[in-house]
A and B are shown apart, each in its own frame.
Chain A
Amino acid sequence: MFRSVYAIAMKEYKHILRDPFTLAVTLALPMIFVLFFGFIIDLDYKHIPLNFQDNDKSKFSRMFLREFSSSGYFNLKPFQGSLFTDNLVESGNSGGMLIINHNFEKNIKEGKQAQAQLLMDGSDNARAAIMLAYSQGIALAASQNFAKLSGGEGNFAQPVRSRFLFNPELNSRWFIVPGLNTIIIGFLAIILTAVTVAKEWENGSMELLLSTPVSPAEIVVGKLLPYFVMTFFDVMLVFVMAVLVFRIPFEGSFMLYLIACWLYITGALALGLLISVATRAQQAAIQFAFALGLLPSFIFSGFIFPIENMPAFFRWLTVIFPQRWFLQISRSLFLSGGGALFIPFVCLSLFAVIMIFAAVKNFKTDVEP
């Protein structure tokens, strides 16, 4: 049993070495994903361009402006001319307009509230929401400074003091990078098996293999083993990059992470096998791999678009995709170190078992007419 599996695996290994396309995909794909989602794409809004008009031109108003620019979230640009604010926000990429009213300093010195306006361009709703959050904090910090300057205690009764757990620096890379393996497994494992096994069918060499004294189970295991190793290699590569290059803490149990990876890879490989048995053609297998591997990884996993924001129907739909569960496990293990992972693990195992069962059943009925 073991020897035939080994022999099939070695055969497959030679096939892979001979096929530059597969090797290139296996090595390049994770790098491309890391480059795009780790380096190029950034969800954090920083240096938002902001026009300002200072109608008070006093020491305090300048301090207030400095508070905005030194926060690092805004790039201030003076605005001259008449106040057609509507036009102003329209022009170019300005994120909004900050207007400081007359008597800004006078009001503060008299113990009244100083007036200012912040008009935001809401066409990018995420940016506007973040600007709302930032500006609140900045206004509070500024008024504390002013209170100290004008002799007060500078300690305002804040009803709430907040702390951000698990990602205290609010770095969105910590959110994205632990999710990359979801896509890599979901796509790579499916496309590799789907294509190579479909090729074997297309060439008719699968019939040859089946006529040898090796049992179908041994063929399947032997064929999939090298791809298991390759996918796992990629996963570890991304893991190491996440920890060493992106400096994301890994708080949870590494063993649990490995188990989750193995479960998910096994399920994905079985799905790939199922696709190849069902389609028996390389091109169709590739299309299925895109539709069942890549697309759900982006859309239904919560990788970018949080599942919590979806309407109820779509939230329930995500349950059937293993991507969602693996992503949840991965993020929890990286950032919060665990928590309620029982259900995700059960769902992931369920997916793997169902896929293996379906693949084996289809494969067998195909073999024995």
Chain B
Amino acid sequence: MKRLRAKTLLGFMKKEFIQIIRDRKMIAAIFFVPIMQTVMFGLALTSEVKNIKLAVVSAPSPAAREIADRASASGWFKDTLVMPAGSDVYGLLSSGKAEAVLVAPKEGFAYGLERGKPAQLLVNAVNAQRAQQVEVYVKQIVSQVAARSGYDVNSAGLIDLDRRVLYNHYMDSTYYMIPALMVMATYIVLMVVCGMSIAKEKETGTMEKLIASPSSPQEILLGKTLPYFFIGTGIVLFIFCIGVFGFGTPFRGYIWQLALTGILLACAALSTATLLSTIAKTQQQAMMGSVLVLMPSILLSGVFFPVGNIPLSFRWMCYFNPMMYCITNFRDIMLKGGNDMLFWQNTFLAFLLCYVLAVSAYKNFKSTLN
């Protein structure tokens, strides 16, 4: 029997919101997680290479001085040391005093540039990604100095490869993270808070009372999840606003595409949470279960680690992850203005997953009633 009465639903929502407001832990989770994540991943944890420690090993010469000055002025480097020729280069690198050491030819930079004798650049490559970027930056600075001193060095030789970075000209990692955070924070909060709230009703035995009340299972399920749906979409909107107005993340696409993805995202998270809480018997189990589901979902979603780099033998797992589709959509819509094909494809697949999750959650919920 299908019955959905607006009045019962409203009553449910009122009850749920009162319970949320009364529980300090819930409030803390709802506000703390999104804010902390935005601050941490928006400000502190970036993949942009900064604060490179460079040492220039050379006999004192104007060229060495200029390289060090330019490096300091560029903003990528900090503490550029100028060391006398014959310093212990390996020691500088392994002790962490320098990350990259530029060693001038014996006769000095000027001589080297004139005769085509290259300077040596030694980079600490423990972090391979960083090392490659450090190399590019140092080379750029040396080329600039050489060009200014009137030497004709073209690091690319015969080919003038004009390279341009689109959509994110300064390669700011905040732009990349904000759309993903909108998904990740929402998912975490909804999984934990909604899952706990259903498990709590079961643990304290109030679920039986709800079932005994004249409301239908659909009403109970919707009434329990709808408040969290509003909270979830609220978090998406909140981080979106911080990202766009606070961090200056571009928004180049359509708002309705963003909204549709956001709604799907909240539905997927709530369905997963409900499904889990129908399986779990206690709050503790619900908590553990949500952590066990969240960890791999986050790692396989492309928030931190690009899905394209995952070996094919494992990549199929990502395609069962609604988070991945939402993140791809958000990034595409916000940074690149959205591509219709990609948007509909991702939306459709996310919807499919969401549907399966929701139906199985509903089925499971009903069977626990009987």
Q: Given A133-B136, A163-B120, A165-B124: A40 and B165 within 8 A (CB)?
A: no
When each residue 165-200 of chain B gets 1 if its CB lies under 8 Å from chain A and 0 otherwise, what string results?
111110111011000000000000000000000000
From A89, A139, A158, A161, contact of B166 by CB (8 A): A89
Name the interface residues of B246-283: CB closer than 8 Å to any CB of A.
Answer: 283
Q: Does A167 contact B126, Cβ atoms closer than 8 Å?
A: yes
Asked if A314 CB lies within 8 Å of chain B CBs, one says yes
Question: Are B126's CB and A331's CB within 8 A?
Answer: yes
Determine the distance from Cα of A46 to Cα of B132 in the docked complex, in whole angstroms.
14
| A167 with B128: CB separation less than 8 A | yes
On chain B, the residues within 8 Å of A158 by CB distance are: 118, 153, 155
A339: contacting residue among B94, B122, B165, CB under 8 A? B94
Looking at A36, A282, A309, A340, the one whose CB has the most chain B CB atoms below 10 A away is A309
Whether A23 sits at the interface, judged by CB under 8 Å, is: no
Chain A, residue nearest B131 (CB): A164
A304, closest chain B residue (CB): B304
A115 touches B160 (CB 8 A): yes
A171–B116 alpha-carbon span in the complex (Å): 31
- Knowing A45-B309, A91-B339, A118-B162, the reply to whether A160 touches B126 (Cβ < 8 A) is no
CB of A126 within 8 A of CB of B129, answer yes
Q: Is the CB of A45 within 8 A of B306?
A: yes
A125–B157 CB distance below 8 A: no
The segment from B1-9, B48-56, B206-214, B218-226 that touches chain A is B48-56
Chain B's nearest CB lies how many Å from the CB of A295? 10
Known A139-B156, A143-B158: A160·B50 in contact at CB below 8 Å = no
Tell me the residues in window 331-353 of chain B with beta carbons closer than 8 Å to chain A beta carbons: 331-332, 335-339, 341-342
Q: Is the CB of A283 within 8 A of B156?
A: no
Let me know if B44 is at the binding interface, CB within 8 A.
yes
Contact digits for A35-78, partner B, Cβ 8 Å, 1 yes 0 no: 01001111111101100000000000000100000000000000
| B163 lies within 8 A of A159 (CB) | no
Known: A125-B47, A125-B48, A139-B157. A172 touches B136 (CB 8 A): no
Which of B139-147, B229-237, B358-366 forms part of the interface with chain A? B139-147
Taking a contact as CB atoms under 8 Å apart, the answer to whether A161 and B118 are in contact is yes
Say yes or no for A132: interface residue by CB 8 A criterion.
yes
Asked whether A306 lies within 8 Å of B130 as measured between CB atoms, the reply is yes
Instruction: State A129–B171 Cα separation when bound (angstroms).
Output: 7
Specify the chain B residue showing the minimal Cβ separation from A112.
B158
Complex: how many Å from CA A299 to CA B46?
A: 11
A35 nearest CB neighbor, chain B only: B314
How many residues of A are in contact with the other chain, CB < 8 A? 90
Interface range on chain B (Cβ under 8 Å from partner): 35 or more
A41 touches B113 (CB 8 A): no
Q: Which residues of A contact B167 (CB under 8 A)?
A: 89, 121-123
Q: Is the CB of B44 within 8 A of A314?
A: yes
CA separation between A111 and B310, bound complex, in Å? 43
Contacts of B125 in A (CB 8 A): 164-168, 170
Which residues of A are found within 8 Å of B30, using beta-carbon distances? none
Q: Are B126 and A175 in contact (CB under 8 A)?
A: yes
Minimum CB distance partner of B334 in chain A: A123
| Contact B161–A117 (Cβ < 8 Å) | yes
Inter-chain CA distance A165–B91, complex, in Å, is 12
* B164, B283, B296: the one within 8 Å of A118 (CB): B164
A246 within 8 A of B: no
**Cβ distance A311 to chain B, nearest Cβ, rounded Å:** 6
Nearest CB in chain A: distance from B295 CB, A: 9
Partner among A40, A45, A46, A159 whose Cβ is within 8 Å of the Cβ of B118: A159
Cβ < 8 Å to A, chain B residues 84-135: 90-91, 93-97, 99, 102, 112-113, 116, 118-133, 135
Question: With a CB–CB cut-off of 8 A, which chain B residues contact A91?
Answer: 339, 341-342
A158 to chain B minimum Cβ distance, whole angstroms, is 5
CB distance from B37 to the nearest CB of A (A): 10
B291 within 8 A of A: yes
**Assembly CA distance A33 to B151 (angstroms):** 52
Q: Which residues of B are found within 8 Å of A136, using beta-carbon distances?
A: 136, 139, 155-156, 161
Q: Judge whether B19 is part of the interface by a CB distance below 8 angstroms.
A: no
Contact A128 B171 (CB under 8 A): yes
Cβ-closest chain B residue relative to A172: B128
Chain B residues near A142: list those with CB within 8 A.
157-159
Does the CB pair A39–B311 fall under 8 Å?
A: yes
Min CB distance A141 to B, Å, is 9
Residues of A contacting B146 in the complex (Cβ-Cβ under 8 angstroms): 159
Contacts A143-B158, A170-B131: A310 and B44 contacting too (C-beta < 8 A)? yes
Residues of B near A144 (CB, < 8 A) are 157
Contact of A309 among B51, B90, B102, B132 (CB under 8 A): B51
Cα separation A192 to B131 with both chains bound (whole Å): 38
With contacts A140-B156, A160-B142, A166-B124 known, is A123 near B168, CB below 8 A? Answer: yes
Tell me whether A159 and B44 are in contact (CB under 8 A). no
Set A48, A123, A159, A336: member contacting B143, Cβ < 8 A: A159
Given the complex, which residues of A lie within 8 Å of B339, measured CB to CB? 87, 90-92
Contact A113:B159 (CB < 8 A) given known A160-B118, A171-B128, A306-B130: yes
- B126 in complex: contacting residue of A90, A114, A166, A299, CB < 8 Å: A166
Contact of A90 among B51, B119, B164, B337 (CB under 8 A): B337
Chain B residues within an 8 Å CB radius of A135: 161, 163
Tell me which of B126, B139, B173, B296 contacts A126 (CB under 8 A).
Answer: B173
Q: A123-B331, A331-B126, A339-B96 are in contact. Are A133 and B116 (CB under 8 A)?
A: no
The 10 A-B pairs at the shortest CB distance, nearest first, are namely A143-B157, A122-B168, A164-B125, A339-B94, A143-B158, A170-B128, A157-B116, A122-B165, A305-B45, A125-B171
Q: List 4 additional A-B contacts (Cβ < 8 Å) besides A162-B135, A165-B122.
A: A91-B341, A116-B162, A123-B336, A170-B132
30 A–B pairs (Cβ distance < 8 Å), ordered by A: A41-B309, A44-B128, A90-B339, A92-B339, A115-B160, A121-B336, A123-B167, A123-B175, A124-B176, A125-B47, A125-B168, A126-B129, A126-B173, A129-B171, A130-B132, A140-B155, A142-B159, A159-B112, A159-B118, A159-B139, A159-B153, A162-B122, A165-B122, A167-B131, A171-B128, A172-B127, A172-B128, A286-B284, A306-B130, A309-B50
